[in-house]
Amino acid sequence: MNISLLLQLVSVLLVANTVLSKRSQPLNPTELAVADAVKDIFVLAGQSNMAGRGGVEGGKWDGKVPPECRSDPCILRLSAELKWEEAHEPLHADIDKGKKCGVGPGMAFANEIRANGSVGLVGLVPCAVGGTRIGEWAKGTKLYTEMVIRASESMREGGTIRAMLWYQGESDTVIKEDAEEYQGKMEKLIMDLRSDLGLPSLLVIQVALASGEGKYIETVRKAQLQLDLPNVKCVDAKGLALEADKLHLTTNSQNQSKCLVLVCYLHIFPLRTWDL
C-alpha cells in the first residue's frame, strides 16, 4: 500500500476513535428526554462565515446577541462531545477551536424555521471550521470524517436531517487552480456525503460568496451559482455588509443571510409539507 495513503487511513481511524469515544458516558435524565424527542436536524458546515464572526473585532467577540439569535429550549446543538444541549451563541465555540467565534447564521435560521411552522425540536449540528479550503473537506480528510460522524450521531436517537447548510469558499479564492477546481470538488463532496449518510436526496443549501481572501472570488462564485445537482440550491450573499476585515459578515448581515437561506428552504418545504 502507498505510504501516504496508509498514513491518511491511520489518521482517519484515529479521528473516528477519538470522536466516538466521547460518547462513552451515559446520558443524564435531561439528555434522555432530549434524545427521545423527534428532531428536525440541520448540519452547518463550511468555514468562518458559517462558524460565525459577527461581532468579532481584534480577536474579541463583543458578546452581543440580537433577538433573532436568542436561545430557545426547543433549539438544540450537538456539542463537540456529541451530546445534545440547548443551543446558544457562539454556536461553533467548541468546534472552530483556536479562533474567536461570534454570531453566525445558524441560531437566527433555527429561530425563524420554528416561527414559520417547524414542529418540535430543531437540532443544529455545527461542523464549520474557519480558514478551510474545499479540498480539506474531501472524503477521507479529518473534517469530512468528523462531519459524517457528527451527522450520523445526530440521527442515532431520533430525528431526521432536513438539510446541510454550507457557507465556504473564501479560502479557495487565493490560488487560481483552487478556484477553477471548486465546482468539481463541491459536487464530489455532496455525492460522497449523501452516500455515506444514506440520504441520496439530502437537501444542500449553499451560500454564494460575499467576499474572499484572494482575487478569484468571481471564479468561485460562478462555480457555486452554476452547480447543477438535484436538490442543491444556492442563495447569494453578494452585497451584504462586511466587518472591518472585509471578509466576514457583520452580525446584521448574518441575520440577512439567514433570511436568504430560510426563503430557499421554505420554497422547497412550505411550512410542514414534508412526510414524517
- Residue of 48, 154, 211, 253 with catalytic role: 48
CA of residue 260 relative to chain centroid, distance = 15
d(CA 263, CA 265): 5
- pLDDT one-digit tens code per residue, 217-239: 999 999 999 998 999 998 887 76
Burial class (CB in 10 A: 0-12, 13-18, 19+), 273: exposed
CB 88 within 8 A of CB 42: no
CB 234 within 8 A of CB 208: yes
Question: What are φ and ψ of residue 269, in 5° steps?
Answer: -125, 75
- Residue of 36, 62, 94, 245 with catalytic role: 245
CB 164 within 8 A of CB 202: yes
Q: Is 195 a catalytic residue?
A: no
Asked whether the predicted pLDDT for residue 114 surpasses 60, the reply is yes
Q: What is the maximum alpha-carbon separation in the chain?
A: 55
pLDDT at 273: 36
pLDDT at 133: 96
Question: What are φ and ψ of residue 233, in 5° steps?
Answer: -120, 155
How far are the Cα atoms of 68, 69, 74, 166 from residue 103, in angstroms, in the given order?
Answer: 11, 8, 19, 16
Average pLDDT, the chain: 80
pLDDT at 36: 53
Q: Is 88 a catalytic residue?
A: no
- pLDDT one-digit tens code per residue, 65-106: 988 899 999 999 999 999 999 999 999 999 999 888 998 889
Question: What are φ and ψ of residue 85, in 5° steps?
Answer: -150, 165
pLDDT at 252: 59
- Residue of 40, 96, 248, 257 with catalytic role: 248
Asked whether the predicted pLDDT for residue 3 surpasses 70, the reply is no
d(CA 118, CA 112): 9
**Residue 118: band (very low, low, confident or very high) from pLDDT cuts 50, 70, 90:** low
Q: What is the pTM of this model?
A: 0.81
Q: Is 267 a catalytic residue?
A: no
CB atoms within 10 A of CB 259: 15
